[in-house]
Structure 1
């Protein structure tokens, strides 16, 4: 495999303004892809895009998007396809967690998670599928440990990630015959700003080396994006002592 296996390819990363999304945009650019960065925070996206262009000499596109909006998600994909002349990789990374137990969760928090983690993933995927079929590209979902095992804490968040995982595998059956690879990547704790809704973020709670780093998840996503004839169905990334005591 060459040093730039994604040369000539175009990728779109949702939730690219921080954490896993930011690291993924860097990893794909490192491997030669043109990268569209999507999130709501335009300034953060512009700053990241500038760093990517400087570090990797890669072409970038900033696409400010409210993934919870059907129209905004569709415009995100249309702009990327128009500017890049197609789309080879979609990384459905945007997600959120808020609220806690079901009995104490507000309807607003419930709606926010469902609209981001479920509706937004559907909107982006639906809009991108025609271009991915044309390119015989890769459709990648960022799932979660919470989408594989029962989670007493915040069952609604867990349910959204079970949905993502089920949707991803079902899409593999749906578009695999059209040459589209479908992957779901399931991290557990990742040392990012995620988790701040509950007090400490994971970056504050864990020291470097204690849990998965965003760059490790990004490398798993980039590995999946490089596949041309095969597909990486599912990748799990857990800290090595995750199952201690089970």
Structure 2
């Protein structure tokens, strides 16, 4: 139903493109009002205008870098000030930069600060509000967080951390009525990979790997749960394990 999330308030990090932007559209399609956060304010504003025009929902643009603790806290505070509550948070902001163990210390710290610290700062800031609404906190994980990735071990390690963190939080807040979900994609046709070599949206043809809209639909499914929890959901291209 198009109004399943009517009246609910969602915050999406990394919302300026790819999975984040598609998730914002999916949640708005179901009637949720959406706060959009990422570093690229112009893209967020364009997306906000689109959501309001196409789906008749309310939006809030709250640009921030998830590596900055105070900025994350401000995003959450501004969202709650504007809408009065928070029902859904999608922790999507992340980087895939670097390959091998010979990346620079700067690249290493940037990836850890974004994928690990950013997820922690966001979780810590939103949990008090999600407890009040018995809401859902959804993490965008990765295939790399479940299987070894010899070509990109640091990125993989951040996603293994994310899964461990998410499920431990799940155990801690379940009695409070908060749902915690992890959605794990494999290759998705987005800007991912552009920091290293070639973006996946350029490397793969449509239909060759997973589309961001497919991941967004999975996230929206988790966000609609009001009693049970979608603990973990994997979305892999159908030939992912061929030749293993």
TM-score interval w.r.t. the shorter chain?
Answer: over 0.9
Per-residue CA distance 1:65-96 (angstroms, 9 max, x = gap): 11100000111111111111010001000000
Deviation at 1:198, TM superposition (A): 2.2
Q: Which residue of 1 aligns with 2:46?
A: 47
Runs of 4+ with deviation above 4 angstroms: none
Distance 1:64 1:198 in 2: 24
Per-residue CA distance 1:165-186 (angstroms, 9 max, x = gap): 1111111101010000000000
Say which SS state the counterpart of residue 198 (structure 1) adopts: coil
Distance 2:202 2:160 in 1: 27
Distance 1:204 1:41 in 2: 21
Deviation at 1:3, TM superposition (A): 2.5
Distance 1:203 1:108 in 2: 26
Distance 2:149 2:227 in 1: 35
Q: Which residue of 2 aligns with 1:35?
A: 34
Count residues with an aligned counterpart. 244
Matched ranges for 1:209-224 at <5 A = 209-224=207-222
Deviation at 1:42, TM superposition (A): 0.5
Per-residue CA distance 1:205-230 (angstroms, 9 max, x = gap): 11000100000000000000000011
TM-score normalised by L of structure 2 = 0.99
1:115 aligned onto 2:113: yes
Q: Which residue of 2 aligns with 1:156?
A: 154
* Runs (5+) with no aligned partner, structure 2: none
Q: Which residue of 2 aligns with 1:137?
A: 135
Say which SS state the counterpart of residue 10 (structure 2) adopts: strand
**Aligned-residue CA RMSD (Å):** 0.6
